[in-house]
Chains A and B, each alone.
Chain A
Amino acid sequence: MRKNWLFSLLALGLTALTVQGGCVIIPEVKTKIVELVASGTACDTLDTTGDLNMHDDFDVADLSNLDIQQILEDAGIDVSDVDSVAVFGITYKTTQPDSRSDREIVNGNVTVTRGSYNSGTQVFTPSTGAVDVITNFNVLVNSVTTDQTAPVSAGGIALLNQILNDLLNEAKGLGPASNTAIQYHVTGVSNPQGIATDFKWRICVKINIKGKVEVDVVE
């Protein structure tokens, strides 16, 4: 009988301890401010058909096509709650391989120039000088590749970040952003020499945006 009471007391104590220790099992809803990250990508495909010995190409991309407002809406971030926007990297990939299995581009470089672009006349008007954004990349273009990380330079990244900040300010209603186009100039030695190139590749600028959201969390 005494033994039974001892067991009962032990069991009761265990029950009480379990329930009492249970702040973890009494959930409550708390509203918290969470820093969220949204990301976006601006890509352009280049066709190298016919280049001989030297791959040398100009193209223009308008970063205003990176719809910051839409990226934020998709992520549920109000533009007024955005802290910062920045380029986190540039990638390149071969989308259509060259017919020659030994085709490669060596000592490739990309510079960028900020300016405005008139799509009607197709005239680019620079507002800055050209700065390096990718330096000394080497790539075999005999097969379709996945995204490769480009070796980037501080000058070009700073220029791109400045355009992104102007676009963010525009989204916040702090005035229109101007000169949001970039002209990029790609150069590189095409091997084997004396045989025209015939491949396509794609370059992508990757950005991320940091903002705050209010979230109901249960704990």
Chain B
Amino acid sequence: MMVRMLRTALLAALAFTAYAPPAAAQLEDNLGSLTGDNAKGYLNPLVDGLSATMNSSVFHTGRIPKQGVMFRVGAQLMGVNFDDGDRTYTPTDPPGFTGTGSVKAPTVIGDTKSVSQPGQGGTTLYHPGGFDIGEFAFAAPQLSIGSIAGTMATIRWISIDLGDSDLGKFDLFGLGAQHSISQYFQDAPFDMAVGAFYQSFKIADTLVDAKTWHFDVTGSKSFSILQPYVGIGFDSIDMKSEYTDNATASTISVDFDPQSNFHFTLGSEANFKILQLYGELNFAAQTGVAVGLSFGN
């Protein structure tokens, strides 16, 4: 029974992780008509979306035993809502084109309709449509193992190649640890731990290459089966994109400005001995929610 549940959870994690990027193969085609600056504007909402989701639901407790076997495997599912302001950007003129008026073009999450921009001498520049996405979800299988000297390691890893499908190939790797602080205090009123977590996420190897860091202090207290927790921390993301310009067949590399932001988490864990359920609210690069389940102790 336990093995069956575990297998189901892992399959769910795999399936949900496959849902993370919006149509990767098509994304590359859309980028192919954009210059580097405009690709940056087009993809910019992904930076906040990835930062907010990847850096969520990493740590769910401040209670790390000083010694003993602690093992949890499960799946985390994080989602954010995008703001209306993220749906458009103002493009710059590519070489060869002189616009006669500025336009608002769709970003990757914007309207599916393209926008025509009139230019000097009757030229016309088309800006590709987006995927009309109001929400962004990201999922990850996660394994936590401890505890040595009040320290627990956490790993996220998945690599999926969906071939020629719209969803494409993506890889996620994450590694980090939490260390108990409350173990150093006698009769601490609640449990507390500090944590750090690094992640690398790639779509089609180089189309989207995001690296994130998450640091936080998590406090929690157990009440029967429920354990509310609060996390206060800091996120950073560094993202690059590489694609082929379909007019010149040259490779265009886009470096996004590294971003960092405050991260506040309010959540609760329900612990049913071998099954744990989580739910949390995150106030970070975007406001979002996350849920998860794990099996272990």
Q: Which residues of A contact B125 (CB under 8 A)?
A: 88-89, 208
Contacts of A7 in B (CB 8 A): 221, 223, 226, 228
Q: Which residues of B contact A22 (CB under 8 A)?
A: 79, 289, 291
Inter-subunit contact A11/B98 (CB<8 Å) = no
Given contact pairs A15-B277, A39-B32, A86-B123, A149 touches B95 in the complex (Cβ within 8 A)? yes
CB-based nearest A residue for B34: A37
B129 adjacent to chain A (CB < 8 Å): yes
Q: Is the CB of A19 within 8 A of B291?
A: yes
Q: Does A21 contact B (CB under 8 A)?
A: yes
For the complex formed, measure the closest distance between the CB of A3 and the CB atoms of chain B, giving whole angstroms. 9
Chain A residues near B173 (CB-CB < 8 A): none
Question: B114-142: contact bitstring with A at CB < 8 Å (1 yes, 0 no)?
Answer: 10100111111111111111111100000
* Binary per-residue interface labels of chain B (75-99) against chain A in the complex, 1 for a CB within 8 Å, 0 otherwise: 0011111000000000001111110
Q: Whole-angstrom distance between the alpha carbons of A218 and B116 in the complex?
A: 27
> 1/0 contact trace for B200-226 toward A, CB 8 Å?
000000000000000000000101101
In the bound complex, do residue A24 and residue B29 qualify as a contact, i.e. CB atoms below 8 Å apart?
A: no
Taking a contact as CB atoms under 8 Å apart, the answer to whether A34 and B130 are in contact is yes
Chain B contact patch, size range? 35 or more
- Give chain A residues whose Cβ lies under 8 Å from the Cβ of B248: 41
A17 cross-chain contacts in B, Cβ below 8 A: 279, 281
User: What is the chain B residue whose CB lies nearest that of A204?
Assistant: B96
Chain B residues 8-37 with CB under 8 Å of chain A are 16, 19-23, 25-26, 29-30, 32-33
The A-contacting residues of B in range 269-292, CB under 8 angstroms, are: 270, 277, 279-281, 288-291
Give chain A nearest CB distance to B288 CB in angstroms.
7
Q: How distant is A44 from chain B, measured CB to nearest CB, in Å?
A: 15
Among the 9-residue stretches A25-33, A50-58, A108-116, the one with 4 or more Cβ atoms under 8 Å from chain B is A25-33
Q: Which of A23, A32, A151 is in CB contact (< 8 Å) with B120?
A: A151
Identify which of A4, A11, A27, A86 contacts B124 (C-beta below 8 A): A86
Q: Spot the interface stretch: A99-107, A189-197, A209-217.
A: A209-217
Which residue of the partner chain, among A84, A157, A219, contacts B133 with CB atoms under 8 Å?
Answer: A219
Given known contacts A10-B228, A32-B131, is B268 in contact with A15 (CB within 8 Å)? Answer: yes
Contacts of A147 in B (CB 8 A): 95-96
A19 and B80 alpha carbons, distance in the complex (Å) = 13
**24 A-B pairs with C-beta separation under 8 A:** A12-B226, A12-B268, A14-B267, A19-B291, A21-B281, A25-B79, A27-B79, A34-B128, A36-B26, A36-B33, A38-B246, A39-B32, A71-B246, A86-B126, A88-B125, A89-B123, A151-B121, A152-B120, A206-B96, A210-B116, A216-B23, A217-B23, A218-B167, A219-B22
List 6 additional A-B contacts (Cβ < 8 Å) besides A32-B132, A210-B116, A216-B165: A11-B268, A29-B19, A34-B129, A153-B121, A158-B122, A218-B22
